Structure 1
Amino acid sequence: MKRSVIFLILILSFSSLLFSFPSFSQLSRDQYQKLESALGDQSFFSGHLTGFMLYDLDSQRVLFEKNSQIRFIPASTTKLWTLFSATVVLQDSTQTIRYITSGDTIKIWGSGDPTWKYKNFQQPDFQKIIGPYSVVVFSDANQISPAYGYGWQWDDYYYDFSAERSPLPIYGNLLQVKKVENRPEVFPTRFQGSIRTTQKPIKELERDFHSNTFAYNPATFLGREKFIPLLTSPQLFVELASAEIGKTWIYQPDSLPQDHKVFRGSPLFPLLKEMMLESDNFLAEQMLFMVSDRLFGQIDTDRAIEYILKTHLSDLPDTPKWVDGSGLSRHNLFTPRSMVAIFDKIYRILPEDQLYEFLPTGGVSGTLKNSYQAAKPYIFAKTGTMSNNHSLVGLIKTKSGRTYCFAFMNSNYPHTASAVRREMEKVMVLVRDIL
């Protein structure tokens, strides 16, 4: 174990040293002019803020850059930073709970594991831990970070991509909705009695901002939204956990004692793969919760980010403003060259086959399934999109057989995201064809 940790540190240090002193590779005049024309003052990208860097991972050389020192809102490309953090801190398994036992009682503190009854992940074996005890006490006293991240948009609260964060989620902190005839049926079923009808012209089941009460209009209900975030609370959690386990849970916000045990419940790889391919915000946020818990025995996203930046990422070309795990916040700010730097680190610590499993593939998988289509896939990258911001960071395979890293970031554009993607694709096809 000690050898593997030392080896990892040496790899990261070597990568850091190389990237601290980038040199520029010589493009031909024709290649340079084509890229400059595609991204320059007369191009589509002149009407908004665009940053671009193309980097040779093998020679550690920058091939081309445009505004790579300017900070952009990264949206979901922030998940690359979460991927790096989870890989170096969590390594191969989730943090699930911390606990103590006394007589017939077990006291539990959640560590951020998001897998319990969420999607099709391997389930933590709670019966193995809880089974012998008749009394289960739950505490959230170890949670410092709030349910919502800093800078999240308040009116996203009824969309499934903005589920609340919690120390021990169940059902992904979501309410499942099915349309039966012209009415909604929900799970957990305890919320069925909290649904009312309304005359407001809404098309989906909508949650009240302040409570877990819901409304729909029978005349206009479409039932396309399959999940709605729940308003979380420790009281609701123990109720849902009691129903799921078949044993009563009690909420008691006791502090976590020094002398306690740790349970790690699930393999990490499937969570990271889902987080990256489908850009799952909930998984990303809970990932940083687990990172913090592993480091400090406390759930504090700010502290975890500060630690990662000061230790593993102290050599970045530009200091980022990094505030959450998913990229939902508009307070996140990263430069294209720091995006390339973090990808360079990921590239050097992950096995190649695993890295490609994590990256959406153009025309094939994940968030790139309908973009960058080609007979031979050439784009393997993480996307990031929110209003007026779209980024792509990852790998491009060129016709010469070479593989390069790139960061392509756009902010403040007046177009649709699909229009920006189409123009970005033209640039990436150019890169593929001329290199």
Structure 2
Amino acid sequence: MRKLFTLILLIVSFNSSLFAQLTRDQYLKLESALGEGSFFNGHLSGFMLYDLDSQVVLYEKNSHQRFIPASTTKLFTLFSSLIILNDSTQTLRYVTEGNTIKIWGSGDPSWKYKKFDDPGIARLIAPFDKVIFSDANMMSPAFGYGWQWDDYYYNYSAERSSLPIYGNLLQVKKVGNAPSVFPPSFQQQVFPTNRTIRELERDFHSNKFYYNPNNFRAREEFIPFIYTPELLMKLASDATGKQWIYQPDSLPLIHQELRGAALFPILKEMMLESDNFLAEQLMLMVSDRLFQRLDTERAIEYMLKTYLFDLPDQPQWVDGSGLSRHDLFTPRTMVALFEKIYRMLPDQQLLELLPAGGKAGTLENSYKAEQPYVFAKTGTMSNNHSLVGLIKGKSGRFYCFAFMNSNYPWKASEVRREMEKVMVLLRDMI
């Protein structure tokens, strides 16, 4: 019986290894699509295809080279959030004394942002007459290392803060030829100008906003405002009906915590819509849960030394969103990271988090097919475009892949079109 059992294992192992290999013809087709003479030979391009069942690399090209990952960095943030935050947000820390409550924010981005559940801040402070706020636990600056300075008035570059409200964004609507803004307290800081601008634009150094009545379009629906403790006190007071007072005291050792809402909806929004603000705030919450201080750099260092020490190539990872050009990852590291996420989550839950080709998220208008076959996180920045996730072959099986491109001189749409040709070829052969 022992010999029979050993023989069966050998047969199963042998058949699995055969099943996990590409045929010579399939391999040559991929070489033609990705190798010398192909569109992807004109710039730095890397690819890896990995069989999750047999744990075998089926094909790779430049998988050891480092690329600017852009928003595929959010896969690192997703992994960190799942490991450290588990299933709930880290909203704030507080102490009470008589009719006074003192609050330290923990990075929760959900307060009056998008359609997330209310984190319960108003309910927490309801019994108290005096609300004191401190941001002394915030160690990370408002902008990440290597972010582009001239993105400051775009909604994808909102400032980081310990207790954000409204996503640290001003909402803009067009009424006649003028903007109407929310929160309404900003309206008195909106001014007309003769400059040839088409949107409402913020001054670089202040929360003053300008528009040209002759050209105003209001296509930029959200604009970041500059966070200051004084501004937060006003907005929080207006939102809760209680006076907030700023007092930057250190967090005492003995305190209480508020974990506000379910984490999964925030993760889903971050992944499907590639929300940079959510990604950055998630890493602040990870840091708070670990160290009781908001320090993205320290949280990243901790994750790399513990849960991610075994990645095949040491990542250069500096922020939560991928806005920084200092982030550098290899395709095989992205595959190794994705496999960790794949082993953690049930299949259906993982698919809910991933943009689906022709169906959902940032892939809604790409990789269209009667049945979605690409489920992956996108990452796009000037001259850089990557895609990391799952491809479903005609066999019905899922494979992991990382497809990364840097330093190309074309529009990202052209690179995506050529990538789609490769993914269709791949879908039809596996």
1:360 is matched with 355
- The offset of 1:351, in angstroms, is 1.2
- The offset of 1:277, in angstroms, is 0.4
TM-score w.r.t. the length of structure 1 is 0.94
Deviations 1:233-282, CA, capped at 9 Å, x for gaps: 11110110001000000000000000000110010000000000000100
Q: In structure 2, how many angstroms separate the alpha carbons of the residues matched to 1:352 and 1:398?
A: 16
Q: In structure 2, how many angstroms separate the alpha carbons of the residues matched to 1:242 and 1:132?
A: 15
1:63 aligned residue (29, 51, 58)? 58
Alignment of 1:265-344 (within 5 A): 265-344=260-339
- The offset of 1:23, in angstroms, is 12
- The offset of 1:325, in angstroms, is 0.5
Residue 184 (1) aligns with residue 182 (2)? no
Residue 431 (1) aligns with residue 416 (2)? no
Q: In structure 2, how many angstroms separate the alpha carbons of the residues matched to 1:301 and 1:350?
A: 24
Q: Secondary structure at the match of 1:88?
A: helix
1:225 is matched with 220
**Equivalent residues of 1:389, 1:413 under 8 A apart:** yes
1:11 is matched with none
Q: Secondary structure at the match of 2:394?
A: coil
Residue 351 (1) aligns with residue 356 (2)? no
Residue 113 (1) aligns with residue 113 (2)? no
Structure 1 counterpart of 2:103, which letter? I
Structure 2 unaligned residues grouped into runs of 5+: 1-16
Structure 2 counterpart of 1:114, which letter? P
Q: In structure 2, how many angstroms separate the alpha carbons of the residues matched to 1:284 and 1:109?
A: 20
Alignment of 1:32-51 (within 5 A): 32-51=27-46
Residue 80 (1) aligns with residue 70 (2)? no
Q: In structure 1, how many angstroms separate the alpha carbons of the residues matched to 2:22 and 2:33?
A: 15
- The offset of 1:26, in angstroms, is 3.0
2:127 aligned residue (112, 120, 132)? 132
Alpha carbon RMSD of aligned pairs, Å? 1.2
Q: In structure 2, how many angstroms separate the alpha carbons of the residues matched to 1:144 and 1:23?
A: 52
2:399 aligned residue (400, 404, 407)? 404
- The offset of 1:195, in angstroms, is 1.1
Deviations 1:119-177, CA, capped at 9 Å, x for gaps: 00000112332111100000000000011011000000000000000000000000000
Structure 1 counterpart of 2:324, which letter? S
2:118 is matched with 123
Q: In structure 1, how many angstroms separate the alpha carbons of the residues matched to 2:317 and 2:227?
A: 25
TM-score w.r.t. the length of structure 2 is 0.95
Structure 1 unaligned residues grouped into runs of 5+: 1-21
2:99 aligned residue (96, 104, 122)? 104
2:252 aligned residue (254, 257, 261)? 257
- The offset of 1:25, in angstroms, is 4.8
Deviations 1:336-357, CA, capped at 9 Å, x for gaps: 0000000000000011111000
Q: Secondary structure at the match of 2:311?
A: coil
- The offset of 1:24, in angstroms, is 12
> Identity of counterpart residues, as a percentage?
71
Q: In structure 2, how many angstroms separate the alpha carbons of the residues matched to 1:220 and 1:239?
A: 32
1:385 is matched with 380
Alignment of 1:193-212 (within 5 A): 193-212=188-207
Q: Secondary structure at the match of 1:307?
A: helix
Residue 170 (1) aligns with residue 165 (2)? yes
Q: In structure 2, how many angstroms separate the alpha carbons of the residues matched to 1:80 and 1:26?
A: 27
**Equivalent residues of 1:24, 1:62 under 8 A apart:** no
Q: In structure 1, how many angstroms separate the alpha carbons of the residues matched to 2:362 and 2:21?
A: 33
Q: In structure 1, how many angstroms separate the alpha carbons of the residues matched to 2:60 and 2:121?
A: 51
Deviations 1:64-123, CA, capped at 9 Å, x for gaps: 000000000000000000000000000000000000011111000000000000000000
